[in-house]
Amino acid sequence: MWRAAGKLSVGAAVLGGGATAVAIATSDDPSTNFKICTIVPLRLLRDALTVATIVGDYQYSLWNLKEGSIEWSKAKHEVHKRSAHRLQDLCFRNGGIYIKLGQHISQLEYVVPEEYVQIMRVSMLKRCPVSSYDQVHNVVIKELGGPPEKIFAEFDPNPLASASLAQVHAARTHDGQKVAVKVQHIFGGSILLILHVKMAFLCNLDCGWLMKFVKVHPSIPRTNFSDGSEECQLLSTTVELDFLFEARNSVKCLDNFRRLSPRTAQSIYAPKVYWNLSTTRLLTMEFMDAAEITDVTAIRSLGLEPVDVSKLVTRAFAEMIFKHGFVHCDPHAANMMVRPLPSNKWNIFGRRKPQLILLDHGLYRELDFSTRTNYAALWKGLVFADANAIKENSIKLGAGEDLCALFAGVLTMRPWKKVIDPSADHLVLEGNDGDRSELQMYASLYFPQISELLRRLPRVILLMLKTNDCLRAVNHVLLQGSSLETFFIVGRIASEAVADTKRSIWGSLCIWLEMVLLEARILGLRVALQFYSLRRAI
Ligand SMILES: Nc1ncnc2c1ncn2[C@@H]1O[C@H](COP(=O)(O)OP(=O)(O)O)[C@@H](O)[C@H]1O
Ligand SMILES: [Mg+2]
């Protein structure tokens, strides 16, 4: 183990050095880059040490303890906690893309141990690196040609939020509009090349080594590294760091809703962009006065119901995935807000309709026509327990016949026998400790198969899995568990998308008939569900 850790550190240093030289040589700002690049080898060494310490701790703490015994469970809980704190510490010290990885771990409920999810969730979404006001001041001068106090009528020097790659300041324009100014951290663009090399190294080389160890030691928490590596590759495309690209994505997203999902369009919003005050590294947008998507107390105080918010989030993303084929792939809690629909008044029950506000449009992915329709047909099969459709479309998406049951399990987080069970409540998950440990047991039991599945699937589907993880985490907070309503919404929109592809062959009347049948089917499921819950209550 220590030999492997040693190899890792040497590799890290060599790679770090190479990337450093290239980054400085190709940079338009060599002095800043030099300062940044000199810390890279140190960071890589830190990575290697953290990995080695975690591995050593698991090995030492569980040594000679009988698996399943009370002492073993207690020791495992403690070592999970310690390791999660070490990982969190590493993410904070290294910053940038590491925070993104930490955020992703915090979404992997049911797959990684609860201790990791909790510790990462509390810290990663809120406590991110902060640039000093001097640094922000310099970026504004460089990007907009003058200091913040001149360009804006007011500019709050304290950031209202700081995320992995940028921080946001409240400000007011000279014509009195309240705006949010997103300013890239100083290291943002210039360190890209290093990040690319470094993350390729971290996600591919040393994870391969880690995975070897994981096979030896069953208690080490596992997560899906290929997914991580996919994200790293995406981040390295510079797209997420170009704020003008991000702004254009937000416009395109809203336009898609207007054209392709007119019934949902008014419930979706993205802050307006102030193009004259935006550049690749600084984005000025309308300030959104709204509740964070998982702040249940704030949501209720606005007269909204968390369950309605959850339905809207599910509908919005199902429309994007199955109908638009242009998907916001980073829907974690800090990237979504909610407010009452501006035109909507209180109804007699004191409920208002929610409007979902999408922030952070840096990471979008397009699904081509066949991937989109196969994925929609797969989800239709999953919701209506159609084993043949699940197999057919899993194979079309590249999972292979041997791994389609596992693919269904990864998508729904339910065991295969539940997925294809024809009863109405086949996708109900109690969310209790039993369910949780059963799923974690599956994740560790089938780790090699899961890795193989992730290797086979197209990259864009991996990102859909990540999106799925984020949405599941948000819905979990809003609903205090899981709800079948979420699956009904997904089933309905996936079916509409599948039917839509046949419009030219079948004509509109047949599509209409198919939709009537679909509604009847969903109604049947609902009635059956009421019956089951009544029977259970008795
Ligand atoms: N238009 C806005 N109005 C109000 N708050 C905003 C706005 N844009 C961003 N924020 C706040 O700033 C945080 C970070 O913004 P985000 O665009 O997600 O940056 P990053 O890409 O670095 O994650 C958000 O979680 C939100 O709290
Ligand atoms: Mg964000």
**Does ligand 1 come within 6 angstroms of the Cβ of 184?**
no
How far is 294 from 195, CA to CA, in rounded Å?
A: 31
Closest ligand 1 atom, residue 240 Cα: 21
Straight-line distance from the first to the last Cα atom of the chain, in angstroms, rounded to the nearest whole number: 56
Per-residue burial over 354-389, b if 16 or more Cβ lie within 10 Å, else e, is bbbbbbbbbbbbebeeebbbbbbbbbbbbbbbbeeb
Q: Show the 3-state SS of 268-300.
A: EECCCECHHHCCCCEEEEECCCCEECCCHHHHH
Residue 198 has pLDDT above 50, yes or no: no
Say if pTM beats, i.e. exceeds, 0.85.
Answer: no
Residue-level pLDDT at 444: 66
DSSP state of 510: H
- 87 touches 105 (CB < 8 A): yes
Of 67-81, 109-123, 164-178, 202-216, which gets the smallest average pLDDT? 202-216
What separation in Å is there between the alpha carbon of 166 and the centre of ligand 1? 9
Closest ligand 1 atom, residue 334 Cα: 25
Closest ligand 1 atom, residue 168 Cα: 12
Q: Show the 3-state SS of 183-198.
A: EECCCCCCCHHHHHHH
**Does ligand 1 come within 6 angstroms of the Cβ of 130?**
no
241 or 132, which is more confident: 132
Residue 290 has pLDDT above 90, yes or no: yes
Closest ligand 1 atom, residue 163 Cα: 22
**Does ligand 1 come within 6 angstroms of the Cβ of 166?**
yes
DSSP of 135-169: HHHHHHHHHHSS-HHHHSSEE-SS-SEE-SSEEEE
Residue nearest to atom 20 of ligand 1 (CA): 163
**Does ligand 1 come within 6 angstroms of the Cβ of 45?**
no
Average pLDDT, the chain: 78
Q: How confident is the model at residue 169 (pLDDT cuts 50, 70, 90)?
A: very high
Among the listed residues 206, 242, 295, 330, the single catalytic one is 330
- % of the chain surpassing 70 pLDDT: 70
How far is 390 from 392, CA to CA, in rounded Å?
A: 6
**Does ligand 1 come within 6 angstroms of the Cβ of 363?**
no
What is the mean pLDDT of the segment spanning 394-404? Answer: 93
Residue 300 has pLDDT above 60, yes or no: yes
How far is 44 from 9, CA to CA, in rounded Å?
A: 7
What separation in Å is there between the alpha carbon of 537 and the centre of ligand 2? 43
Tens-digit pLDDT profile for residues 332-385: 898 999 999 987 666 666 788 999 999 999 889 999 999 999 999 999 999 888
Residue-level pLDDT at 31: 52
**Does ligand 1 come within 6 angstroms of the Cβ of 435?**
no
Burial of 444 (0-12, 13-18, 19+ CB in 10 A): middle
Residue-level pLDDT at 470: 87
327 or 65, which is more confident: 327
**Does ligand 1 come within 6 angstroms of the Cβ of 124?**
no
Burial of 71 (0-12, 13-18, 19+ CB in 10 A): exposed
Annotated catalytic residue 89 = no
Q: Single out the residue of 447, 384, 443, 457 nearest to residue 415, CA to CA.
A: 443
Burial of 342 (0-12, 13-18, 19+ CB in 10 A): exposed
Nearest bound ligand to the CA of residue 177: 1
Closest ligand 1 atom, residue 288 Cα: 3
Q: Locate the domains of the chain by residue range.
A: 2-128+189-238, 289-538
How far is 151 from 135, CA to CA, in rounded Å?
A: 16
Of 8-17, 262-271, 299-308, 419-428, which gets the smallest average pLDDT? 8-17
Residue-level pLDDT at 294: 95
What separation in Å is there between the alpha carbon of 329 and the centre of ligand 2? 11
**Does ligand 1 come within 6 angstroms of the Cβ of 271?**
yes
Nearest bound ligand to the CA of residue 183: 1
Residue nearest to atom 5 of ligand 1 (CA): 288
Q: How confident is the model at residue 37 (pLDDT cuts 50, 70, 90)?
A: low
How far is 203 from 196, CA to CA, in rounded Å?
A: 10
- 488 touches 319 (CB < 8 A): no
**Does ligand 1 come within 6 angstroms of the Cβ of 161?**
yes
Residue-level pLDDT at 19: 43
Nearest bound ligand to the CA of residue 185: 1
Residue nearest to atom 18 of ligand 1 (CA): 360
What is the mean pLDDT of the segment spanning 39-50? Answer: 79
What separation in Å is there between the alpha carbon of 348 and the centre of ligand 2? 36
What separation in Å is there between the alpha carbon of 57 and the centre of ligand 1? 37
**Does ligand 1 come within 6 angstroms of the Cβ of 239?**
no
Q: Single out the residue of 334, 324, 339 nearest to residue 359, CA to CA.
A: 334
Ligand 1, pocket-test mutation among 360, 361, 363, 470, most atoms within 8 A of CB:
360
Calculate the alpha carbon distances from 405 to 397, 503, 522 in Å. 13, 30, 24
- 301 touches 323 (CB < 8 A): no
Strand residues in 272-412 grouped as ranges (E): 282-286, 291-292, 326-328, 336-340, 354-358, 364-366
- 446 touches 406 (CB < 8 A): yes
**Does ligand 1 come within 6 angstroms of the Cβ of 359?**
yes
Q: How confident is the model at residue 68 (pLDDT cuts 50, 70, 90)?
A: confident
Residue 386 has pLDDT above 60, yes or no: yes
Name residue, tokens 């693919």: 407
Residue nearest to atom 12 of ligand 1 (CA): 161
Closest ligand 1 atom, residue 165 Cα: 22
Tens-digit pLDDT profile for residues 202-251: 443 333 333 333 333 344 443 333 344 444 444 444 455 789 999 999 99
Q: How confident is the model at residue 513 (pLDDT cuts 50, 70, 90)?
A: confident
Name residue, tokens 């030691």: 217
Q: Single out the residue of 286, 330, 7, 294 nearest to residue 122, CA to CA.
A: 294
Residue-level pLDDT at 125: 60
What separation in Å is there between the alpha carbon of 183 and the centre of ligand 2? 12
- β-strands 268-269, 354-358: how paired? parallel
What is the CA 497 to chain-centroid distance, rounded?
Answer: 23
Name residue, tokens 């590759």: 233
3-class DSSP state of 366: strand
Q: Is the dihedral of CA 450, 451, 455, 459 positive or negative?
A: positive
344 or 399, which is more confident: 399
**Does ligand 1 come within 6 angstroms of the Cβ of 170?**
no
How far is 80 from 74, CA to CA, in rounded Å?
A: 10
What separation in Å is there between the alpha carbon of 156 and the centre of ligand 1? 15
Q: How confident is the model at residue 437 (pLDDT cuts 50, 70, 90)?
A: low
Calculate the alpha carbon distances from 259 to 64, 253, 254 in Å. 63, 10, 9
